[in-house]
Amino acid sequence: MREAVTTAKLARELFGTSWIKLEVIADNDTLQPELVGLVEAAGILIKDGFEVFPYCTEDLSVAMRLVDAGCKVVMPWAAPIGSARGIINPDALKLLRDRLPDIALVVDAGLGAPRPASTTSAMSGSRSRKSFSASGLMMPLALPIGAAQGITTLQPASTSRIATLRSSVQ
């Protein structure tokens, strides 16, 4: 966790941005997030002026803690990174959308193909003022998906605006 905070500060200086995709990884083989350290690092970075985009599982309690820490965006996985399994727990993602209607949710891992990405459009609930988005290797934080319009555009994120940080917990 300390490594993530230190690296984020270095990245801010190097890239000139306070936007950071924060990944605190518990296991280097599965790339599963270490959730306790993630929440702690997010809180520290937000207090230091960062806009934190945390990579997490689809766990509601973790997402709520990230929001309580000040995150305006939460990036839950659809499935483990690189698994290309699609959305393995749609009910949990729907619950996130329903319970966090004002928070931007970006499904960040495990989609593997356009079809699961388009499925996220149906998950934008009627109470929500934000829709789901999907993130992926070819579209790093910017495949807008709305409940009414479906997939409309691919807009690659500017690499000069968002620094991705992956930290492994040993």
From 9, 21, 47, 94, active-site residue: 21
Q: How far apart are CA 90 and CA 69, in angstroms?
A: 25
Rounded Cα distance between 43 and 41, Å, is 5
User: 21 catalytic, yes or no?
Assistant: yes
Contact between residue 62 and residue 35 where contact means Cβ atoms under 8 Å apart:
yes
Q: Annotated active-site positions, please?
A: 21
